[in-house]
Amino acid sequence: MDKIRQNLFIYSVGVLFIIILVLAAAGVIDLYIQTVIMFIGVNIIFASSLSIVNGYMGEFSCGHAGFMAVGAYVSSVLSVTLFTANKLTGAPLLPPSLSVVLFPVVILIGGIVAAIAGLLVAVPSFKTRDDYLAIITIAVNFIIVTLINNMAVVGGSRGFMGMKKVLYAMKDVVPFPYILFWVMTFAILTVFIIRRFVSSVYGKGIIAIKQDEVAAEIMSINTNRMKLVAFMFSSGLAGISGGLFAHVIGYVNPGSFSILKSTEALVMVYMAGMGSLGGSVISAILFTILLELLRPFQILKWVIIPLLLILLMQFRPEGLMGDKELPDFFPKLKKYYKFK
């Protein structure tokens, strides 16, 4: 009995996951709500991946959308050429029905390539710190977006499409809301893995770097390797979120991964508070819902949201949660929540 209570939190996440899937498969939730849920999932991955670097490690990376773009393009090109008839390779390279199994693999490959692109930021970060590193990340974002803009193979600035056909190919095998399933799965896995990582002895190294880099080095933390791991981990997860984002929308163009997208991630992380994973998740949910609610205001939306955030900063200068997690606010939650 005790064991069940301790794991109640995890069980309830699982139950929620199954309920949403069943409702979506039965057609009770319409496509709009499903899309919003998927955007929430994508934003959770995007925000919590940035919170590794900006929150836990205390660096200021503001070009996160660049890695999202890498993941989005790599996984889209892969899935379109592998599973559908397309302009690049003609007939599909693999039987389309395999897409059911290989879809997560394709997304993961996108993440891995994005992690390698993360080296672009990780290697300069050995020598440079705070604001100089911020500049490098902005420059990397610009570089990646212009690079894609100039690649005629993937459509240049016109964008790249055809991912919907992959989803249809998957649905032809067994009708099931695959993309919803994978977005939610990846979101839950991401939060779980990041939580395990930053609370492990090894992962505490990045928190040590945030507090004091020189002291961390003296305490025998290999700061360069820690930074490499953190940047690659974070950009890899951003790549995964990009791949999912591309497949949810079914169309990508370089313009949607501009600095503005990076700003969205920054908003989510700092609204949550630096170094609060639960906060990132909550603020990703709030932010996505806010965006949808404010849709009728059109352009004024982007005046209202920054205003709200500035107001929030005035009243809670450390963000919604600061560096605390939910159980720190509601100690009774600890009973239902065993999570090392």
Partner 1 sequence: MFTSFFQNIINALQWGSFYSMIALGYCLVYGVLRLINFAHGDIFMVAAYLGFIFITFLFKYIFVGGGVSGWLILAITLPVVMFFTSVLGVFIERVAYRPLREKGAHRLYVVITALMVGLILENGNLALFGASSRKFPAIIHRSVISFSGVHITNLKVLVIIAAFVTFAFLQAIVNKTKIGMAMRAISYDKFAIPLMGIPVNKVIVFTFILGSSLAAVAGVLFGMSYPVLNPYMGMIIGWKAFIAAVVGGIGDIKGAFLGGFLLGFIEILIVSFFSSNLKDLISFLILLIILVIKPTGFYGVAKSTKI
Does 150 sit near partner 1 (CB under 8 A)? yes
**Is residue 102 a contact residue for partner 1 (CB under 8 A)?**
no
Q: In terms of Cα–Cα distance, which of 262, 288, 264, 283 is closest to 272?
A: 283
Enumerate helices (H) and strands (E) in the chain, giving the number of each: 16, 2
Please report whether residue 295 would count as binding partner 1 according to CB under 8 A: no
Closest contact distance (angstroms) between CB of 152 and partner 1 is 10
Of positions 105, 116, 143, 161, contacts partner 1 by CB under 8 A: 143
Nearer to partner 1, 181 or 302 (CB): 302
Q: Does 35 bind partner 1 (CB under 8 A)?
A: no
Please, which residues have CB within 8 angstroms of residue 133's CB and are 6 or more apart in sequence?
59, 60, 61, 121, 124, 125
**How many whole angstroms separate alpha carbon 71 and alpha carbon 114?**
5
291 near partner 1, rule: CB under 8 A:
no
Q: Is 132 in the site for partner 1 (CB under 8 A)?
A: yes
Tokens of 317: 């200068």
DSSP 274-322: TT-HHHHHHHHHHHHHHHHHTGGGGGGHHHHHHHHHHHHHHH-TTTTTT
Site for partner 1 in 230-289 (CB under 8 A): 259, 263, 266-267, 270, 274
Single out the residue of 100, 104, 105, 142 in contact with partner 1 (rule: CB under 8 A). Answer: 142
Q: What is the DSSP letter of 250?
A: S
Kind plus residue range of the DSSP H or E element containing 51: none
Report the amino acid identity of residue 36.
V
Least distance in Å: CB of 135 to partner 1?
Answer: 4
Binds partner 1 (CB under 8 A): choice among 23, 105, 139, 285: 139
Residue 101 is a binding residue for partner 1 (CB under 8 A): no
Centre a 10 Å sphere on the Cβ of residue 246 and count the other Cβ atoms it contains.
29
Q: If binding means CB under 8 A, how many residues of this protein chain bind partner 1? A: 47
Q: Minimum distance from CB of 324 to partner 1 (Å)? A: 15
Question: Does residue 302 belong to the site contacting partner 1 (CB under 8 A)?
Answer: yes
228 sits near partner 1 (criterion: CB under 8 A): no
Which segments within the chain are labelled E, that is strand? 160-161, 251-252
Nearer to partner 1, 124 or 159 (CB): 124
Alpha-carbon gap, residue 74 to 105, rounded angstroms: 12
- Site residues for partner 1 per CB under 8 A: 54, 60, 123-124, 127-128, 131-132, 134-136, 138-140, 142-143, 145-147, 149-150, 212-215, 218, 259, 263, 266-267, 270, 274, 299-303, 305-307, 309-310, 313-314, 317-319
